[in-house]
Structure 1
Amino acid sequence: MSESKRFSIGSFYLNRLKKHFFWLYFIVFLITLLMTWKGGEALKNQQIKTLRIDSFEQLNQLASVLESAIAKYQHMPTLLASNDRVKKALRDGFDSDINQLNQELEQINRITEASDSYILNTEGLTIAASNYRENTSFVGRNFAFRPYFQDAIQGKPGRYYALGTTSNRRGYYFSYPVYEGDSIIGIAVVKVDLTQFEKRFANQHYEFLLLDPDGIVFSSSRPNWLYRIFGELTHAELQRIADSQRYYGKSIEKLAIVYQKPFDEKSQIVDVLENTLLNDDVEIERLSFLKMSRPIRLLDFKISILAPLKTINEEIALWRAIFAGGVTITALLFGLAMLRSRMLRERSDANEMTRHNQAYIREVIQNTQAGLVTLDENHKIESFNPAVEKLLGQPLAPLVGQPLNALFLADESDAPAQDDFLEAANDLGVKVLTREGRLCYSDQTVPVEMTLCKMQLPNRLSYLVTFHDMTERKRYEQEITQARIELEERVRERTFELQGANTRLRHEIEEHKGTQRELIQTAKLAVLGQLTAGLNHELNQPLTAIRAFAGNGLKFLDRGQYEQAHTNLQHISQLGHHMGDIIARFKVFARKGDVHHGPIAVQTAIMGALKIMSPRYKEVGIELVVTEDQGFIVNGDMVFLEQVLVNLLANAADAILESPDNTRRVSIEQTSTENQVVLCIQDSGNGLSEEAIRHLFEPFFTSKSLGLGLGLGLSISQRIVEAMGGQISAKNQDSGGAEFCVRLPRFNHLIPPS
């Protein structure tokens, strides 16, 4: 078969192979594109699921805090309605009584942090208000048109939410009728300003919405979303809202939601258009959120959290770009490998062609795409093909008969001279020699890879030199080197960022410790707040006795009965010491501080807690059974142990009061082991549910009725006990009721306290 026929057949199969590779590359490209898109979607859904779990916990916490914060105001109108000064001001209408009532309402507002408190007569006219000093005072204004007045005047507690027509502030209203006998003589109203809650949650990483029953945004972390409709309202419903003057003068518009799709049964993906001010120009920005909602039954509202998805979308886009870049680099490396394989294949073909006669060699030299140069046995240039001239862009006829180093220079500075390495190749019997270097002629330089092949012809020795253009390869190497330098720079920057993040983490740990101390102090003050009524009773009794003894003592002095007067003064002194002891105990209990370990008597801590709790127990008629002093000494902090005992005694009282049919009794028992002292507080309530036992010591979990607790007492008590090296546990008694046990290490005088 002739060489031309072989070439034609080879070209035919080569073209078919190229077509097959083209379709293979196209299919691989489509699969890669599909994997990039589907993988990004799967990663995005997984990150959104994680965000939904975190946001759902934040939604529950936000709803609980909002309900608890507003619930504490719902009974204030009832307390105001029972105030004798309110009734007197409504009944008599004297200016002195009204002035005193204004001052008292102002003081109550400062203490309770309510927005406004005011009193209406039966005509709806405001006779007294906490804001009587302000320009926007309610005094003299008529609110008979408000539904909370209409409900209360009929003898029912009133609730309402609206934008204030006078103060122009949004609020939630609680009202209650003021009775004189069986007749209603006025209305007591308390307004809760919701702006304080917006400020509290304004700087969170999510947006929140408070929707009224009509789906109108009543409160939001974004002020421009206020009074927007998160849904659809009919014309009749909009007219009803306008007639009620609930949003006095505000236009009700629909929120610009352009996309809404359920993510799962509890959340939705929502896209909202938002106007953004950029360089004094207003631009429309599309914001994507994960929306979750839950009802607030106390207010008949719905609260929603909108967690932004911008960060997740950017991360997915970055992941896709990195993945696509990795695939691209892989494809480039594969192409480079194929190019290298092709170069080696061409070199092999050139070696095979050396077995043919000189004419065939010359034909190959003239037609090959690689630069070919033949050398004689003295390493002088005999001939070259047009590809060499094409590389340098000029004729090379003057180089015939010149040594190879007149055309090619090796790159290695320490490499032997051109003739030397050719002679060394001959001595070692090397038939193929490869070097990298440059084709240099006149003012032209081209980087090439040189391959020298020995050709043993029948009559003489000859050499075939092949030159491959390495311009692209050198460029690729420079790009890879630059990429490595940039990668090292990014690694250094990331290391610096991680060091900064580590510093911020240590700072956040210190802030967490401060927050924990504040929570412990808050729990103390919450307990003291619950015991205020009992403390008032304990102090009123000796105060009444002091007034009686003082009055009698004055009469005895007038009569000259000094001995009786002296006796009364002694009684007064004893009662004063008693009151001072009560106040001192509450003062010590309320102080701030960290846990300090030291020897403390268990009985002393129990008696200190009983001094604080006994007024409340007497008030509600709970029997308290305490075992005799066992002389136990533990290693801990007296004040913090008293706080734990007060929390447990207060919880026991609450559990008993929630089951009024049970026997009212609380027992405190002391036992010990070799290394621990165990204090057990047992109540006669209904006991703990299985769910309560599982979550009892978790923050913000409470099994009490709505509004009776924040769910922090047991969590803080557990931290205090663990800080003192002990444990706290809870279980139900076989005879009924719950039992809480505190285990503390016994004090060992041989081991110094930590």
Structure 2
Amino acid sequence: MSGTLTLSSNIRKPLIGVLGLLLALLVIACGSWWLACSLSTRMLRAQGAQATADLDQELTRLRFFPRVLAGDPRLEAALSRGLPSDILAANTALDRITRQSGAAFSFLMDTAGFTVAASNFDQPSSFIGKNYGFRPYFRRAMDEGAGTFYAVGATTGQPGYFLAQSMVDDTGAQQGVVVVKLDLEDFIQRYRTTQKGLVVADDLGVVILSTEPAILYAPLVPLSPDAQALSREQRRYALNAQTQPRKNGPWLAMGARVFLSVQTESEVEAWSLLALHRRGDVLNRAGGLLAMGGAGLLIAVLGGLLVRLQLQYSSVLRRKVAEKSRQLQAAQRQVIADENLAFIGRMSAAISHEINQPLASLRFNLATLSKLHDQDEDVQSIVAQSKNTASRIARVIETLRLFARRKEVVSDKLDLSAVARTAQRVMSEERPRASEAIRTELPSGATMVRANDVLMQQVTINLLTNALDATKALENPDIELRIETEAAHVVLSVTDNGPGVEASIQGDLFTPFASAKPMYKGLGLGLSLARSIVEDAGGTLTYTPQEAPFKSRFMVRLPAHDD
């Protein structure tokens, strides 16, 4: 019996060791999967945010175009007189302007919904004589003055985004509706070529744009009978009944293929965007992490055995094991930081292509529009404002390029109150609904400092954007933009009634890659960059927690410049 007990004891210890090793491998496997999903989700959130911004920019690119066309006297004459010469002039104008603007089509409808003139008047698929009064964009334009809608063309069979504008005469009576159609195929094609999965669903939850063509016009969720009836009534598209995507939490199944997805919402239309990442790619990343974790576990086990045999659990052994653990943790943090820096590098490389080229096209279109309507003061005013905006964008790009290359940024005397007003106007244009929560308290006199105008605007916009994000979920958001003078300084402050910044991260708030937002909302560079800009101007940027009802206050203090 003694031998049996001894044998059992000899077996028990190795068995416990093996079970412990298997348990550790299971924990590492689960952790690798969780970390792979987390890293992929963070990447998808950034990708989705960029895709949403790109889509909203595309949808608003020609939003002004129907309003400009609505004031064209050639179109007005085609509706009011309707002479053959008037119709020909309207057709020719629509054809030329549509080609120059990059739109797919434009056409003119009377109050009954019949097409009077069209850019494709000389083509077999001409819209002239067709009645599109059933389209929601026509009804909204007649009822509300303007309307938008996405659908497959009833005549051409080509999908597109329709923008409509009502036309009225001098007495305010309805004359008709002018419509511009945008082709969004180039937008989705850019994501196909970059191997980035993307799905866009309309207000009914039906896929209208996708890098996976097989699921076009398939509902992401089952449609109610009312939704199906509405789709048929508006003749949006033919629903895809062959492919039925299945969404389960963050996972989206398309037949045999499964994708990890992150959903974002358009601010222009009631559309949802799903950024996609193949499950196989997530598994590959998890496999790599598992291999790293397994290797680390093996090293730890072998190292532990070796140290146990050599040092017999001495203090030297404990210090070495602790040092190895710290090294592994530092390596993991370095991997995450490297991914962030790689993402920033890719974004920087895309700036020239994604901004400068469209900016040149915008300036060309503005010059063309100015020549076409050189006698129209309203159009010339819009063109002038747009040219100023384009110039400001160019200045921002050049200033940021100089800043990124660590060259000297040109500073000059400027009115900080004017900077604040410009920043508020930019926010009201970019986020009109959310920016209603911003209150300004600006002194009546000048508040002069010496700094770079564009960079100080970026600092103010960054602080306002953070405040808008912090109060986004509140029922009654309240943001105060204030400028005060104290002693020899001018102080710009942004205060909000959001949740505030957690005490645990306040010390690192201005450190690169540190952020009070969730990881998918930003890289944590905005405040760090803002502080660098302010310090280069001889000032300071600080954060101060506040008592209720306000929770956060960011203060920019700059030396006053009176001479």
Which TM-score tier does this pair reach, normalised by the shorter chain? 0.5 to 0.7
Shift of 1:17: 3.8
Question: For residues 303 and 726 of structure 1, what CA distance do their matches in structure 2 show?
Answer: 40
The equivalent of 1:579 in structure 2 is: none
The equivalent of 1:101 in structure 2 is: 90
Give the secondary-structure state (helix, strand or coil) at the position aligned to 2:27: helix
1:436-515 paired onto structure 2 within 5 Å: 515=350
Give the secondary-structure state (helix, strand or coil) at the position aligned to 2:269: coil
Aligned partner (choices 287, 290, 293) of residue 258 of structure 2: 287
Give the secondary-structure state (helix, strand or coil) at the position aligned to 1:202: helix
The equivalent of 1:272 in structure 2 is: 253
- Is structure 2 residue 162 aligned with structure 1 residue 173? yes
The normalised TM-score by structure 2 is: 0.58
The equivalent of 1:111 in structure 2 is: 100
Contact 1:109 1:117 in 2 (8 A): yes
Shift of 1:331: 10
Question: For residues 664 and 126 of structure 1, what CA distance do their matches in structure 2 show?
Answer: 55
Aligned partner (choices 69, 92, 115) of residue 81 of structure 2: 92
Letter of the aligned partner of 2:248 in structure 1? Answer: Q
Letter of the aligned partner of 1:39 in structure 2? Answer: I
With over 3 angstroms needed to count, the CA separation of the structure-2 counterparts of 1:641 and 1:171, relative to structure 1, is farther
Question: For residues 70 and 742 of structure 1, what CA distance do their matches in structure 2 show?
Answer: 43
Letter of the aligned partner of 2:60 in structure 1? Answer: A
Q: For 1:210-246, what per-residue CA distance to the aligned partner results, in whole angstroms no more than 9, with x for missing partners?
A: 1111111111121112111111223443243233321
With over 3 angstroms needed to count, the CA separation of the structure-2 counterparts of 1:80 and 1:641, relative to structure 1, is farther
Give the secondary-structure state (helix, strand or coil) at the position aligned to 2:199: strand
Letter of the aligned partner of 1:215 in structure 2? Answer: G
Aligned partner (choices 300, 303, 308) of residue 273 of structure 2: 303
Q: For 1:315-347, what per-residue CA distance to the aligned partner results, in whole angstroms no more than 9, with x for missing partners?
A: 434555676789899999999xxxxxxxxxxxx
Aligned partner (choices 184, 190, 213) of residue 194 of structure 1: 184
- Is structure 2 residue 223 aligned with structure 1 residue 223? no
Contact 2:40 2:282 in 1 (8 A): no
Contact 1:209 1:305 in 2 (8 A): yes
- Is structure 2 residue 284 aligned with structure 1 residue 260? no
With over 3 angstroms needed to count, the CA separation of the structure-2 counterparts of 1:528 and 1:641, relative to structure 1, is farther
Aligned partner (choices 464, 468, 480) of residue 692 of structure 1: 464
Letter of the aligned partner of 1:34 in structure 2? Answer: L
Contact 1:227 1:253 in 2 (8 A): no
With over 3 angstroms needed to count, the CA separation of the structure-2 counterparts of 1:693 and 1:93, relative to structure 1, is closer
The normalised TM-score by structure 1 is: 0.45
Give the secondary-structure state (helix, strand or coil) at the position aligned to 2:62: coil
Q: For 1:238-283, what per-residue CA distance to the aligned partner results, in whole angstroms no more than 9, with x for missing partners?
A: 2432333210x443455342x724xxxxxx2x15144xxxxxxxxx
1:546-695 paired onto structure 2 within 5 Å: 655=424, 678=450, 691-692=463-464
Shift of 1:312: 3.2
Question: For residues 30 and 59 of structure 2, what CA distance do their matches in structure 1 show?
Answer: 42
Question: For residues 200 and 91 of structure 1, what CA distance do their matches in structure 2 show?
Answer: 43
Contact 2:411 2:452 in 1 (8 A): no
Question: For residues 134 and 740 of structure 1, what CA distance do their matches in structure 2 show?
Answer: 64
Question: What value does the CA root-mean-square deviation take over the aligned residues?
Answer: 5.6
Give the secondary-structure state (helix, strand or coil) at the position aligned to 1:54: helix
With over 3 angstroms needed to count, the CA separation of the structure-2 counterparts of 1:305 and 1:662, relative to structure 1, is same
With over 3 angstroms needed to count, the CA separation of the structure-2 counterparts of 1:190 and 1:59, relative to structure 1, is same
Letter of the aligned partner of 2:253 in structure 1? Answer: V
Q: For 1:467-521, what per-residue CA distance to the aligned partner results, in whole angstroms no more than 9, with x for missing partners?
A: xxxxxxxxxxxxxxxxxxxxxxxxxxxxxxxxxxx9xx99x97x87765556785
The equivalent of 1:316 in structure 2 is: 286
Letter of the aligned partner of 2:92 in structure 1? Answer: Q
Aligned partner (choices 246, 255, 259) of residue 236 of structure 2: 246
With over 3 angstroms needed to count, the CA separation of the structure-2 counterparts of 1:596 and 1:159, relative to structure 1, is closer
Letter of the aligned partner of 1:168 in structure 2? Answer: G
With over 3 angstroms needed to count, the CA separation of the structure-2 counterparts of 1:255 and 1:665, relative to structure 1, is farther
Question: For residues 26 and 212 of structure 1, what CA distance do their matches in structure 2 show?
Answer: 58
Give the secondary-structure state (helix, strand or coil) at the position aligned to 2:192: coil
With over 3 angstroms needed to count, the CA separation of the structure-2 counterparts of 1:173 and 1:59, relative to structure 1, is same
The equivalent of 1:51 in structure 2 is: 40
- Is structure 2 residue 25 aligned with structure 1 residue 36? yes
Contact 1:680 1:740 in 2 (8 A): no
Shift of 1:160: 1.9
Question: For residues 213 and 231 of structure 1, what CA distance do their matches in structure 2 show?
Answer: 12
Give the secondary-structure state (helix, strand or coil) at the position aligned to 1:58: helix
Q: For 1:357-385, what per-residue CA distance to the aligned partner results, in whole angstroms no more than 9, with x for missing partners?
A: xxxxxxxxxxxxxxxxxxxxxxxxxxxxx
Shift of 1:108: 2.3
Question: For residues 15 and 332 of structure 1, what CA distance do their matches in structure 2 show?
Answer: 30
Give the secondary-structure state (helix, strand or coil) at the position aligned to 2:198: strand
Contact 2:216 2:240 in 1 (8 A): no
Which structure shows the higher strand fraction? 1
The equivalent of 1:148 in structure 2 is: 137
Give the secondary-structure state (helix, strand or coil) at the position aligned to 2:182: strand
Contact 2:423 2:461 in 1 (8 A): no
Letter of the aligned partner of 2:271 in structure 1? Answer: F
The equivalent of 1:451 in structure 2 is: none
Give the secondary-structure state (helix, strand or coil) at the position aligned to 2:181: strand
Letter of the aligned partner of 1:314 in structure 2? Answer: N
Letter of the aligned partner of 1:310 in structure 2? Answer: G
Contact 1:231 1:254 in 2 (8 A): no
With over 3 angstroms needed to count, the CA separation of the structure-2 counterparts of 1:96 and 1:156, relative to structure 1, is same
Contact 1:668 1:679 in 2 (8 A): no
Question: For residues 224 and 138 of structure 1, what CA distance do their matches in structure 2 show?
Answer: 29
Aligned partner (choices 77, 80, 83) of residue 66 of structure 2: 77
Contact 1:158 1:176 in 2 (8 A): yes
Q: For 1:646-676, what per-residue CA distance to the aligned partner results, in whole angstroms no more than 9, with x for missing partners?
A: xx9898557579799999999696x8xxxxx
Contact 1:681 1:740 in 2 (8 A): no
Letter of the aligned partner of 1:193 in structure 2? Answer: D
Question: For residues 641 and 144 of structure 1, what CA distance do their matches in structure 2 show?
Answer: 57
Contact 1:114 1:192 in 2 (8 A): yes
Letter of the aligned partner of 2:236 in structure 1? Answer: R
Letter of the aligned partner of 2:52 in structure 1? Answer: A
Contact 2:32 2:287 in 1 (8 A): no
Letter of the aligned partner of 1:160 in structure 2? Answer: F
Give the secondary-structure state (helix, strand or coil) at the position aligned to 1:38: helix
Aligned partner (choices 203, 206, 221) of residue 213 of structure 1: 203
Give the secondary-structure state (helix, strand or coil) at the position aligned to 1:182: coil
Question: For residues 41 and 595 of structure 1, what CA distance do their matches in structure 2 show?
Answer: 43
Q: Structure 1: state its 5+ residue gaps.
A: 1-11, 262-267, 275-284, 336-501, 542-581, 598-634, 672-677, 697-702, 704-714, 733-737, 744-754
Shift of 1:728: 9.1
With over 3 angstroms needed to count, the CA separation of the structure-2 counterparts of 1:309 and 1:231, relative to structure 1, is same
With over 3 angstroms needed to count, the CA separation of the structure-2 counterparts of 1:650 and 1:593, relative to structure 1, is closer
Question: For residues 293 and 274 of structure 2, what CA distance do their matches in structure 1 show?
Answer: 36
Letter of the aligned partner of 2:189 in structure 1? Answer: K
Question: For residues 39 and 268 of structure 2, what CA distance do their matches in structure 1 show?
Answer: 30
Contact 2:32 2:290 in 1 (8 A): no
Contact 1:726 1:742 in 2 (8 A): no
Higher RCO (C-alpha under 8 Å, 6+ residues apart): 2
Contact 1:121 1:186 in 2 (8 A): yes
Question: For residues 134 and 158 of structure 2, what CA distance do their matches in structure 1 show?
Answer: 18
- Is structure 2 residue 173 aligned with structure 1 residue 183? yes
Question: For residues 399 and 452 of structure 2, what CA distance do their matches in structure 1 show?
Answer: 25
With over 3 angstroms needed to count, the CA separation of the structure-2 counterparts of 1:71 and 1:288, relative to structure 1, is closer
With over 3 angstroms needed to count, the CA separation of the structure-2 counterparts of 1:728 and 1:225, relative to structure 1, is farther
